[in-house]
Amino acid sequence: MLLNHLTPDCVIPSLKAGSKKQVLQELARKAADLTGQDESVIFDVLLERERLGTTGIGHGIAIPHGKIPALDRVYGVFARLERPIDFDSIDEQPVDLVFLLLAPSDCGADHLKALAKVSRLLRDRMLCEKMRGSTGADAIFALMNQVEDRTAA
């Protein structure tokens, strides 16, 4: 299951950022704390991926992602932005829900499976609305787990 390795510590319930770059910097900082990897390496990987094309998938959601050679498994960080920001999304709408995924360079299909799982999770409009209305990391984490449990059954 995708959320096996996630904890409430992986959730930023109210991220303050004024730009896409600031969001990526804050996510890189949080991911560095969780993974023990260098923040600047993570940030550079995320910027490089964004140069290939936006990870703003529409409906206020972005899934920035990348591969870091030294990682031992897939890591995730979820952030609810305090205010929506322009993320160059495919639907040209601002983003307020961001799920960062980082994977080892050699993980192969696991990276794609994790991306697909996050995408399916965030396609649940009711879940997204509930997360937008939640203010605490524990509450947002619990919502994600409820949906994960329901879809796994």
Q: What integer pLDDT is reported at residue 3 of this predicted model?
A: 60
Tell me which DSSP letter residue 63 carries: -
Q: What integer pLDDT is reported at residue 67 of this predicted model?
A: 93
**Which residue out of 5, 59, 65, 111 is catalytically annotated?**
65
- Is 65 labeled as catalytic in the residue annotation? yes
Q: What integer pLDDT is reported at residue 68 of this predicted model?
A: 93
53: left (phi over 0), alpha (psi -120 to 50) or beta: left
CATH of the domain at 72: 3.40.930.10
Following DSSP, what letter does each residue of 71-134 receive, concatenated?
-SS-EEEEEEEEEEE----TT---EEEEEEEEE-TT-THHHHHHHHHHHHHHT-HHHHHHHHH-
Query: Residue type for 77, please?
Result: V
Mark 22-31 as b/e (b = at least 16 C-beta within 10 Å).
ebbbbbbebb
Q: What integer pLDDT is reported at residue 27 of this predicted model?
A: 97
Q: What integer pLDDT is reported at residue 153 of this predicted model?
A: 43
Range of the domain at 19: 2-152
Q: How far apart (Å, rounded) are the C-alpha atoms in residues 66 and 42?
A: 8
Q: What integer pLDDT is reported at residue 24 of this predicted model?
A: 98
Domain count, the chain: 1
Contact 41, 25 (CB under 8 A): no
Q: Which of 149, 141, 70, 128 is nearest to 102 (CA)?
A: 70
Q: Tell me the pLDDT of the chain (153 aa) as tens digits.
A: 456 667 889 999 999 999 999 999 999 999 999 999 999 999 999 999 999 999 999 999 999 999 999 998 889 999 999 999 999 999 999 999 999 999 998 887 877 888 888 998 899 999 999 999 998 999 999 998 887 555 554
